[in-house]
Structure 1
């Protein structure tokens, strides 16, 4: 679901080849580091926590473990789309 969104628009990108993608940790970036920071800050305000990516790599990482219901991923995708529209 999250990969479908990432692959279907041109703002956020996922640099991992399809065959190596994790089903539990989805990494993605925005067009630049400033927007990554803005995304993480606004996401935190909206209740999405711990999305900041690795300190050396940057970007974001959504961890979708067993306790994360599909509705949570839907809400993240909705937030990402809103952010994309406001910042593209």
Structure 2
């Protein structure tokens, strides 16, 4: 739909960078941190690290997803407007 290329490998990092470049995500630092934490969270055994992860999810990651949802709804509305 957006005729965007540039994520040929399809790696999560590449997709996030492309999403930032075309305006689907607005805070690349939070999304890249989310990716990093996803990769390391399977090996958390320390309660303090679990607490840190919970705070990051609550304070940064959930709000980032809510912003993404709003952007996607807006893009969908724009696309539907073009069809009619």
Greater helix fraction, Structure 1 or Structure 2: 2
Provide the TM-score with structure 1 as the length reference: 0.35
The structure that is strand-richer by fraction is 1
- Structure number with bigger Rg: 2
